[in-house]
Structure 1
């Protein structure tokens, strides 16, 4: 199921492209329910100071450094769907861990920060494989339309899920047990949506990576060649 394919039929390709668009509903629901202002509000609810808030804001950017070794991983394994799906499952599983942070006492903030770091790390690795895979999957003459539709779905989902999260938090008193359960519920829902997103991605076809002359070169050689 996670193996690349030497040939992809027209019907299979069209089904895969439809799934690519639908997948945006679930991946962006995950982001809307668990990142951005929701994550900041969660950290403040757990008693985070300014330094912790700044660290949480910086982690997604720092984790992008993982894309450098991810390039070598993709070139060596040459199975982008496998990397993307397994990274997604490993990273988004951390959302379930984060859901238990309000009940972890003194460990609440360390759990939140550590789980966020792991989530962002695997997200960067999976994103590297995903970008290369999508470049080969979507036909060049349709890639703009496909990702435009995906963006529309993503925007609508982010809007609705974000409003739902805001309502859930607004209806619960600050620093209360109800607010603990509200955050836990948001992260459980985000985890479920993320894992369902990974399931959809696993059912999309992956074209086999072409054999190129640079295959087998080291990462340093690849970066030097790309800079020329």
Structure 2
């Protein structure tokens, strides 16, 4: 058994490290905005049709956090998007910026939420989940109804296009390839215009009267 002095020395050495771990700041949270809610319904282009989605964006992802997400999900040369050990676990450790609800209490955490405005007053909104949509469904993760599998195994990219009246459509990586742009910290669907529409009747829900 070590001498008491040796035990004391070990405690003294570890104590500063423990104090540092407790005092270390948590990862920077994304910038905070008012809650925004979007709704849409899956179309026949998705393996699971007629699901009403409710999307709650708690905050939009800041530049630094977008870069962190892109560094995780951008595939290395020769890899397929969404592959790699512990990718899903690493995504789950990132700050949550919202949720996608696919019915009842079943929700998927958002780890990336970014929007850009169009010249005509519309918006492009891109979301990334920490798990593939449909993960807990009986038939497994959602895919394209044409037999095309999801573009990523560990997450889903959802892209919404809204007009100036806050109405539009959505497409997802369940049946469309993903385009990554790490230098800009952005991600989206490749060749959006030619992809099938996966979400119809998409709209931004008006805020409650108390928030107007």
TM-score tier (shorter):
under 0.3
Greater strand fraction, Structure 1 or Structure 2:
2
Between structure 1 and structure 2, the one with the greater Rg is 2
Structure with the larger helix share: 1
TM-score (norm 2): 0.23
TM-score by length of 1: 0.22
